[in-house]
Amino acid sequence: MKKIKIEELLSRGAEDIIDKKHLKEALFSGKKLNIKFGVDPTGPNIHLGRATILMKLRDFQDLGHKITLIIGDFTALIGDASDKTAMRKPLTSKDIKENMKNYLFQIGKILDLKKTNVKYNSEWLGKLSTKDLIQISTSFTAQQMIQRRNFKERWEQGKEIGLHELLYPIFQGYDSVAIKSDVEIGGFDQLFNLKTGRDLQRLFKQKPQDVMTLKMIYGLDGRKMSTSWGNVINITDDPKDIFGKIMSLKDELIFEYFECCTRVPMTKIKEIKKTIKNPKEIKKILGKEIVKQFYSEKQAQEAKEEFEQVHEKKDLPTEIKEIKIKEAELNILDLLVLIGLSKSKGEAKRVLEQGGIKIIRGESINIEKDWKKTIIIEEMIIQSGKRNFVKIKKF
């Protein structure tokens, strides 16, 4: 049983492992390993992409290993360049505090916080002297640092690269020295930083950590996952929202998500792939599995039923936002803006003309395309598009 778990740990969702043989032996030896995971407290939300790493850590945790979570409060002053093609703005200590509160709460959805050792890297990096830094730096060359993909791209495109950014991998690497890590896990784009950890540990006469990088999952639309693209699932998203977002996932990404973001056994995934042909049905399973992980089985089931209700049966959602209105009657456009279904009258007019507005009074559904129309305010539900509903009540 344990053997299977270890095999899965090493293969599932993994992109690269250095040194695989060594890590495998260490895992089988029964020794309690110190697993390092570093986060920069930059963004307030953990999305599914980052969650895959946390899930992997949880696997290690379940096998009895120790997780050391390093909060990069010091390195945040620099900003890692791994997932950016432009320079990142340094954070203030106030930002960091604010972000971290949120972080630990979210991390707690996946990791067992009681068994997680949380450290702030300012503890040791803050003590590092200029002299120390120079000594460490002598083992690296500018070429090495620039060689990495992100910098190379920026260099070639003539974009700026801050001198301090070049130091980032060294600081992250020094974290490994400070906590004497045995294994470090990160996204595929972290490979360079993780390897620098090995170099530094050697420099400090420690055994170099093994390094595990995980596959990066793409965003819902198949593009790179990025909060600013809006193609991201945050683990704190509403269960119904997570489920819905999964339903909008590009079909080609379904099994990637299954592998990286769920704990459904690989054999079962293969079986699903073979037996279920309708992607919609597979997505439903996937959606449930993912919601379940961050919420509960029950909430996952509810999210699924809600989706079926609204999108398959075209019924009303169970919860509809309610707004009370004083006026006895209102122009349809004014009404739509007032209840927040449209940002402006122009937008309201467009949606109306395109047939996106439905007014539901009791059983009947009327579609009104006249924007001069005055609506008598009474208890009713207004639907805009496929999934925006507002219930109107008289004040």
Contact footprint for RNA (CB under 7 A): 158-160, 221, 229-231, 240-241, 243-245, 247-251, 278-280, 283, 307, 311-312, 333, 337, 343-347, 349-351, 354-356, 371, 384-388
Comparing C-alpha atoms, which of 7, 49, 391 is closest to residue 215? 49
Cβ 163 to RNA, closest distance in Å? Answer: 13
Cβ 343 to RNA, closest distance in Å? Answer: 6
Cβ 368 to RNA, closest distance in Å? Answer: 13
Tokens of 187: 């996204």
Cβ 253 to RNA, closest distance in Å? Answer: 9
DSSP string, 25-55: HHHHTTPPPEEEEEE-TT-S--BHHHHHHHH
Pairing of the two strands 14-18 and 116-120: unpaired
CB closer to RNA out of 97 and 350: 350
CB closer to RNA out of 209 and 384: 384
Taking the C-alpha atoms of residue 289 and residue 272, their distance in angstroms, rounded to an integer, is 13
In this structure, are residues 15 and 214 in contact, taking their beta carbons and an 8 Å threshold?
yes
In this structure, are residues 81 and 151 in contact, taking their beta carbons and an 8 Å threshold?
yes
- 138: how many CB neighbours lie within 10 A of its CB? 9
Taking the C-alpha atoms of residue 289 and residue 293, their distance in angstroms, rounded to an integer, is 7
What CA–CA distances, in Å, run from 248 to 240, 270, 279, 286, 349?
Answer: 12, 22, 11, 12, 27
Taking the C-alpha atoms of residue 246 and residue 286, their distance in angstroms, rounded to an integer, is 7
CB closer to RNA out of 120 and 295: 295
CB closer to RNA out of 139 and 248: 248
Residue 364's DSSP bridge partners are 361
What CA–CA distances, in Å, run from 27 to 3, 68, 113, 148, 182?
Answer: 10, 17, 22, 30, 11
Residue 37's DSSP bridge partners are 69
CB closer to RNA out of 21 and 350: 350
Cβ 179 to RNA, closest distance in Å? Answer: 35
Helix, strand, coil share (%) of the chain residues, nearest 5: 50, 15, 35
Tokens of 41: 């407290």
Helix (H, G, I), strand (E, B) or coil at 210: strand
- Tell me phi and psi for residue 314, to 5 degrees: 55, 30
CB closer to RNA out of 194 and 330: 330
Cβ 243 to RNA, closest distance in Å? Answer: 7
CB closer to RNA out of 85 and 135: 85
Cβ 254 to RNA, closest distance in Å? Answer: 9
CB closer to RNA out of 194 and 253: 253
Amino acid letter for position 242:
I
CB closer to RNA out of 25 and 308: 308
Cβ 34 to RNA, closest distance in Å? Answer: 40
Cβ 386 to RNA, closest distance in Å? Answer: 5
Cβ 86 to RNA, closest distance in Å? Answer: 9
Comparing C-alpha atoms, which of 71, 58, 66, 123 is closest to residue 97? 71
In this structure, are residues 80 and 172 in contact, taking their beta carbons and an 8 Å threshold?
yes
126 secondary structure, DSSP code? T
Q: Could you give the maximum distance between any two Cα atoms of the chain, in Å?
A: 80
CB closer to RNA out of 95 and 334: 334
Cβ 221 to RNA, closest distance in Å? Answer: 6
CB closer to RNA out of 176 and 383: 383
